[in-house]
Amino acid sequence: MSLTAMLQEQFDAGLTTRSDFTIDQPVEQYGAVDHAVWQQLYERQTAMLPGRVCDAFMEGIRALDMDARRVPEFERLNEKLMAATGWQVVAVPGLVPDEVFFDHLANRRFPATWWMRRPDQLDYLQEPDCFHDVFGHVPLLANPVFADFMQAYGKAGTVAQSLGALPLLARLYWYTVEFGLMRDGDGLRIYGAGIVSSRGETDFSLTSREPNRIGFSLERVLRTQYRIDTFQQTYFVIDDFAQLFDAMRADLPALFKAFAEQPSFEANARRPEDTQILLPA
């Protein structure tokens, strides 16, 4: 659904969209089907994530005390999130313009879609819905280091936009916030929201021998294309969230300028300089 169509839908539903694209979460518009879909997805994912997701995610789930049976009310969620890291969740009609998105992140506000997917969309949805945004993203915002990284990313977005480098910075978000893996001793854990909220990719990202798994390199990420129509062909693996925050201290304008003049790598590319992380035999 296009942004224009979503805004029209909000208008038709009697919702007012502010200049920063936020709305009051219309909790009264959630019906029994919405709550049932949330509960089914929540219970399914929390059952399969232990041992597969990073500890910080499960700690965030416990700290925020999300209700498994109902779509969360952002106002109640924010009481715990604000106390933990100073972040808050704001309701939006769907995808928002880049400059709006970055401004929210830079001010420790996470824009979350308010509407829930339909029962026939449990396993695939083209646009992010409330389950993806809230269950997938918000628990890690209770982690201080990850929360600081997200704010730094928002500030970097303004820089990238001024330099015409948004496609490069979008790759960093895609390969970390959405589809990132991290080391856990001799194994791997997931932390990216796109994996956490997907039953299929939760399993694929950790067990399939098809994709590349590469040690995180900011330069490699910025130069790597991605696909939105399939499971990922490359996953970048971090050591910890501090590695992400440290990456935001790089001379991003210089990197943007340098890589704008160089060819990008295909999503499934393997490079001699890559640190390949192999699954156990």
Q: Which amino acids are annotated as binding site, given as ranges?
A: 132, 137, 178
CB < 8 Å & 24+ apart, contacts of 4-7: 6/93, 6/94, 6/95, 7/93
Adjacent-strand bridge partners of 187 = 184
Structure tokens at 22: 């936020």
| C-alpha 101, offset from chain centre | 13
Structure tokens at 225: 């294309």
Q: How far is CA 104 from CA 22, 162, 180, in A?
A: 10, 17, 22
Q: How far apart (Å, rounded) are the C-alpha atoms in residues 255 and 223? A: 10
Q: Which residues are annotated as a binding site for Fe cation?
A: 132, 137, 178
Q: Give the three-class secondary structure for 65.
A: coil
Adjacent-strand bridge partners of 112 = 91
Structure tokens at 90: 């704001």
φ and ψ at 214, to 5 degrees? Answer: -125, 135
Adjacent-strand bridge partners of 58 = none
Q: How far apart (Å, rounded) are the C-alpha atoms in residues 152 and 140? A: 15
Adjacent-strand bridge partners of 236 = 214
Instruction: Centre a 10 Å sphere on the Cβ of residue 228 and count the other Cβ atoms it contains.
Output: 9
Question: Which among 233, 134, 217 is positioned nearest to 179, based on CA atoms?
Answer: 233
